[in-house]
Amino acid sequence: MRTIVLQSYRTTDIPFWISRCLASVREWSRANGFAYECHGDEVFELCGSEYLASVGGNIRSITNLARLELTRAAHGRGYDRAIWLDADVIVFDQERFRISLAERYAFARETWVARHDQRIAIEHGVNNCAFAFMRDEPDLDMLINLTRHIARHRKITSNYQVGGDIVKGLRNSLAFSTLEHVGMFSPCLITGIARGDTELLSVLAREFGQPVFAANLAATPGNHAPVSDADLCSAMNLLLSTRGGVINDYLSPKAPPGKAGMSARVKKLFSRFSKKRRIAG
């Protein structure tokens, strides 16, 4: 099966953490024998002038359509399977992260965990930060046409209108598969990894219910509350060093909540990188 992994990001002023994410996906693709392409802003041209005018300068709205068009174009070039991973997805367990889809398509399953004051909020759904489509999938054309239709006939006030809200709204009707090992990490969770909010990490592990081997780091400015560079660096170091163990250790039904639920190896690394973050901050 000919498989290609697709990504897109601008070619200048790339943040250090985005570079690390892109490198991890590129390494994972090559290790699995997949073709890999990372496109620049030229992919916006795939959307066409009408769509670009409708969504204005909203980069996320543009990318929502461009990623689907890139996927269809890859099929047209002979690839049997096209995998999209957002530029802020990091693969932290290269060996165990697998996308084994062999029919139709799948979007990432999402468990969003965030802390609001003293309350932990949990949302379940699907997300277009990662997906895979097999060739000749009719729903791909449908999603492209629907995205264009919404932009043509509605006032676009949010990128979710032509992105995440579409796949979330159609989830039950289309009954598509989900990718099970890609996490969606809120800014609160990223900060929690860096600063030792073990309650938040254990909640995510148990709510998601599967080990995570890669994750979308939703830390891009304008998305949600910003995450500091120091916290991002510490969180990424912990995820890579423990290969996700900083979260996955809590999956055992016998694992107690909090830091006591970590393995000795992960606990040691957690302490080391947490100290580094405090010094850096």
The 10s digit of each residue's pLDDT in 195-223 is: 988 999 999 999 999 999 999 998 655 55
pLDDT band at 154, cuts 50/70/90?
A: very high
The 10s digit of each residue's pLDDT in 241-275 is: 999 999 999 997 655 555 555 555 555 555 554 54
Residue 60: CB atoms within 10 Å: 16
The predicted pLDDT at position 260 comes to 53
Q: If we measure between CA atoms, which residue out of 88, 155, 93, 96 comes closest to residue 128?
A: 88
The answer on pLDDT for 45 being more than 60 is: yes
Q: In sequence order, what are the residues at sequence separation of 6 or more whose Cβ sits closer than 8 angstroms to the Cβ of residue 136?
A: 75
The answer on pLDDT for 187 being more than 60 is: yes
Q: Residue 207 has which token pair?
A: 């709510």
Question: What mean pLDDT is predicted for residues 21-50?
Answer: 97
The predicted pLDDT at position 281 comes to 35
Looking at the 3D structure of the chain, how many domains does it have? 1
Long-range contact set of residues 219-223: C-beta below 8 Å, sequence gap at least 24:
219/17, 219/88, 219/187, 219/190, 220/88, 223/187
Q: Report the amino acid identity of residue 207.
A: E
For residue 4, the cross-strand partners are 35, 82
The 10s digit of each residue's pLDDT in 116-152 is: 888 999 999 999 999 999 999 999 999 999 999 999 9
The predicted pLDDT at position 252 comes to 76
CATH number at residue 86: 3.90.550
The predicted pLDDT at position 262 comes to 54
The answer on pLDDT for 13 being more than 60 is: yes
The 10s digit of each residue's pLDDT in 73-128 is: 999 999 999 999 999 999 999 999 999 999 999 999 999 999 888 899 999 999 99
Domain extent at residue 240: 3-280
The predicted pLDDT at position 277 comes to 47
